[in-house]
Amino acid sequence: MSEPSAIAEAATPPPTERDAAPSASPAPAPAPAPIPPPPAIVTRALTKRYGSLVALDTLDLALEKGDVFGFIGPNGAGKSTTMKILAGLLEPTSGTAEVLGRDVMRNGDFVRRNIGYMPDFFNGYEDLTVFEYLEFFASAYGIDRKQRKRVVNDVLELTDLNYKRDALTNSLSRGMTQRLSLARVLVPDPPILLLDEPASGLDPRARIEIRELLKELQRLGKTILVSSHILSELGEFCNKLGIIERGKLIVCGTIDELMARARAHRVISVQVVGDPAAALAALEGDARVERVESSGPELLVTLRDPTLHHSFLLETLLARQIKIHSVAPHQLKLEDVFLRLTKGIVQ
Ligand code: ADP
Ligand code: MG
């Protein structure tokens, strides 16, 4: 069995760190230090090209065990490409991808055992009921006959599909189909889940059901990489988020880090009475103001010096006889943070 050595190999530092360390002369081997568990998912400079199109451009990702990573990006950004590579279904052009410390291209069986990949389409079998469908996959995953019923019942329970156990798979609504697709992925109980737009095309109620299910999986300790083109769908329960556009990861971090980065820039909301054009011009002309964004009647003013009190804004406006409705610190919501991060407003 080569497993322990493969894990030890994965736990050694990457070459750059190793090269930088001072080279020590051979000393008596110290007692082996406990090997830290490998991260759930690591990609380094992962790249996929289709001819001249760069579908994925030097992606660096790291997910620890238990992370729930929201992978946000518009259509064509490279989300599905990333997931297929991680699931071992697509070969990258260059770069590496590791699952629990093992290179995905060289450890297909290991990756398949540890990853549950839910694609963005459903491969149904017309004549099978929900129960038969899951039982079929349980047998394909090598779960023995005695265990199969229990396993299928468990995933039906978890995904709240028990009441549909005898329905034909092709009679289900889109929301139920998505839950069935997730149920199938959960049959072998993999520690890592790659879920490709599980909430896409769902009505609001079905969307909430999927969200609740993902929260439950999070509570069960799964590591989850879940994609969406809608930030608000994921922001609520992910602990890490990344935004990808045209193959490039443009923003990535824990929610706390991202919020802190955005908060470092003070934003003040200014509402004036009547047309805000004069106020906009006055504030843009103030050297202490970094930028002004206008959103309807509200002006969002970013201060150059975040420690400065915002009362000078009042003076600037009053000096021009502009009537003020309110001036108050603006509470950035996660969506605002992302908008600012992706527009390069927050460095
Ligand atoms: P997303 O899942 O974020 O919508 P994808 O990963 O599916 O994006 O696609 C990324 C880019 O790669 C898109 O421009 C898409 O058209 C392109 N692409 C994906 N698969 C192929 C393929 N088999 N051949 C050529 N181009 C592809
Ligand atoms: Mg996709």
Ligand 2 centre to CA of 199 (Å) is 12
Topology of the domain comprising 264-342: Alpha-Beta Plaits (3.30.70)
List pLDDT tens digits, range 217-255. Answer: 999 999 999 999 877 777 778 999 998 999 999 889 988
- Mutate which of 81, 86, 225 for ligand 1? The one with the most ligand atoms within 8 Å of its CB, which is 81
Which of 8-12, 263-267, 290-294 is the most confident on average?
290-294
List pLDDT tens digits, range 139-192. Answer: 999 999 999 999 999 999 999 999 999 999 999 999 999 999 999 999 999 999
- Mutate which of 43, 46, 48, 50 for ligand 1? The one with the most ligand atoms within 8 Å of its CB, which is 50
Alpha-helical (H) ranges within the chain are: 3-11, 15-20, 79-86, 108-114, 130-140, 145-158, 174-186, 204-219, 231-234, 255-263, 277-284, 311-318, 334-342
* Predicted TM-score (pTM) of this structure: 0.78
List pLDDT tens digits, range 292-302. Answer: 998 788 999 98
Q: Which ligand is nearest to the CA of 249?
A: 1
Ligand 2 centre to CA of 119 (Å) is 9
* Over residues 273-281, mean pLDDT: 90
pLDDT of residue 25: 60
Residues 124, 130: Cα–Cα separation, whole Å: 10
**Would you tell me which CATH number, out of the four given (2.60.120.10, 3.30.830.10, 3.40.1110.10, 3.40.50.300), belongs to the domain 65-88+108-253?**
3.40.50.300
List pLDDT tens digits, range 37-82. Answer: 899 999 999 999 999 999 999 999 999 999 999 999 889 999 999 9
pLDDT of residue 9: 42
First to last CA, the chain: 48
- Domain residue ranges of the chain, discontinuous segments joined by +: 65-88+108-253, 264-342
Express as a percent the part of the chain with pLDDT over 90: 63
Q: How confident is the model at residue 16 (pLDDT cuts 50, 70, 90)?
A: very low
Residues 72, 335: Cα–Cα separation, whole Å: 12
Ligand 1 centre to CA of 93 (Å) is 14
Ligand 2 centre to CA of 169 (Å) is 23
